[in-house]
Structure 1
């Protein structure tokens, strides 16, 4: 992206709108340019490909979720409760967002590949998970034989799986039950 943040932001908003409206596969760079009020060649001056826009859009959504978690979930009390609250919030956001659900549901491998390849996406995830996990490790409640990255990946893979099979978790209680019974115990100190 160029240094023109206003144009870049406008393009990202347009891409998000188009991805949500038509889905990722059906959205063209021409659609995004039209939504942003510019011609397609102008769009390419800021973003070289649709995949770059997809990544930037995912990074933005992940960053917003991390910031929301930091605001709404205090790092206090039992680590298992903190982690469960964050995972429930993440699940609710993913299921409620058609764009995110599409990316996860139809492209879990793509998301995981991008997570490994894109430092900005990894950083956006760790913005919340690093302090939350180290909080639990320092309290002696989370495993220290696993790295923050390993635990973060476990949580993300679990969330992707739950989103892919959201029909199995129709209520917040069923989401919370699955998270507290299967996902969180795997990282608790033994």
Structure 2
């Protein structure tokens, strides 16, 4: 597992952790009612707490939902890391990482709401949070670091710019480049227009 990856909590840890129980209850409610219709009252009832009890751990509904999105994102990160770590160069890791993250995120029962119009306010808070950049760093840094050390990538581009660019590409792919969502076409476009920016100088 690449550096920075977090192992999912053991079942006993989840049962004993009120925040984890609340997040699990929120996910069940979202699956049942959808994001927009899920209320703090629903979540409190599902977890067996009073609403003030839930607010002891999360200041508002958005904070709770953002934490849930980030929890799901880390699970996707760990799965994709295992796959793209087998690639031989950074350009291939970037292309396959973008494709796999976008596809898994689009299918995820929570993260898919990030690109849904009913989650637009939530999306704005996610993308402007410091945690979002940290999560992007957790995902890409193991591969960027190796490329820098081996002089396979220019150090002139700020890391923050790399995170912004790749995160926006993930969002574009999640929404779909066209009506077909053809994976082969998406891979071809990324290889032609994205991979060259991450190719080794002598490639």
* TM-score scaled by length of structure 2: 0.78
Report the CA distance shift for 1:44/1:113 in structure 2 as closer, same or farther (over 3 A).
Answer: closer
CA–CA distance in 1 between the matches of 2:122 and 2:55?
Answer: 22
Matched-pair contact (CA < 8 Å) for 2:44–2:51: yes
User: How do 1:1-190 residues align onto structure 2 when only pairs under 5 Å count?
Assistant: 6-74=17-85, 77-106=88-117, 107=119, 110-111=122-123, 113-119=125-131, 121-165=132-176, 167-188=178-199
Higher helix share: 1
* Separation of aligned partners in 2, 1:183 and 1:110: 28
CA RMSD of aligned residues (A): 2.5
Runs (5+) with no aligned partner, structure 2? 1-14
Deviates more, 1:20-29 or 1:68-77: 68-77
Q: Which ranges in structure 1 are unaligned for 5 or more consecutive residues?
A: none
Paired residues in the alignment total: 186
CA–CA distance in structure 2, aligned partners of residues 180 and 5 of structure 1? 46
State the Cα deviation string for residues 76-106 of structure 1 (Å, max 9, x = none).
5111111112111101111212432221232
